[in-house]
Amino acid sequence: MACLLLCGAAEPLGPVVRQDGFQFKPPKAFRMARMDLFHGTHVGAVTRNVAVTRYLSAALLDGEGEDAASLLLSVIEEPLTLGPSSRDEFSTAVVRHVHDELGQPFQLERAEVTNGRVEVLGSIRQGSQLRRVLVAAWPGEGRHVVALCSAPAGRWEALAPVLAESFSSLKLEPVSSSRLPQRYVWAFATLVAAMLMISVGLWRRRQASRSEG
């Protein structure tokens, strides 16, 4: 009986989404939204340094209207390491981002480093609706990923465990994996130098032939 219940249980996560150097499984009900709705904005792209390059990479919604939850994932083009000050620094960045760039006061509830990421949970009020907001950042070399989920407060208890599972599925591709091995770099440099020398030699021969002519 227990086996049948387990087999019949709905999978809480959907198929893998692969974006700009990362992959994760969103909650099953979430679907990709039109990116043009967010074009030219930095919504969700939380960072300690607003001068760095940052962009929204994926936007997902689980419905329409004001009762829908949203999940935004952004790429921040700067390294992030987790340390003793990560919790305070990131929570400060979240409060500033929501206030300055989204125009909403943010009520901070908790901030912690957990499961290899830093998380900040709080709430905002949009009109008469109270929404819970969870922001997470994963460390990375050269770049890192930030996720921001917003949902009506009444839906949060049901969504939170699924969201935690989704966040645990996120994986970043190492920056080094996109770099050529050093031996290939040196070989390429040698080839370029050789081609340059050949070009110079041909140019000198042509100049000498013109002079003789």
Number of domains comprising the chain: 2
Give pLDDT tens digits for 5-21: 344 345 799 999 998 99
The reported pLDDT for the residue numbered 207 is 63
Q: Tell me phi and psi for residue 74, to 5 degrees.
A: -125, 155
The reported pLDDT for the residue numbered 24 is 96
Task: Kindly indicate the confidence band of residue 138, based on its pLDDT and cuts at 50, 70 and 90.
Answer: very high
| Judgement on whether residues 159 and 197 belong to the same structural domain of the protein | no
| Judgement on whether residues 64 and 138 belong to the same structural domain of the protein | yes
Give pLDDT tens digits for 168-208: 999 988 755 444 444 344 445 555 556 666 666 665 666 66
Q: Tell me phi and psi for residue 141, to 5 degrees.
A: -95, 120
Residue 197 lies in a domain: yes
* Residue numbers of the domain that contains 95: 11-177
Query: What's the whole-number average pLDDT of the chain?
Result: 84
| Judgement on whether residues 94 and 166 belong to the same structural domain of the protein | yes
| Judgement on whether residues 205 and 136 belong to the same structural domain of the protein | no
Contact call for residues 79 and 142 (beta carbons, < 8 A)? yes
For the chain, what percent of residues have pLDDT higher than 70? 76
Residue 6 lies in a domain: no
Which CATH number belongs to the domain containing residue 95 in this structure?
3.40.1000.10
Distance CA 173, CA 166 (A): 17
pLDDT > 50? residue 67: yes
| Judgement on whether residues 148 and 198 belong to the same structural domain of the protein | no
The reported pLDDT for the residue numbered 206 is 66
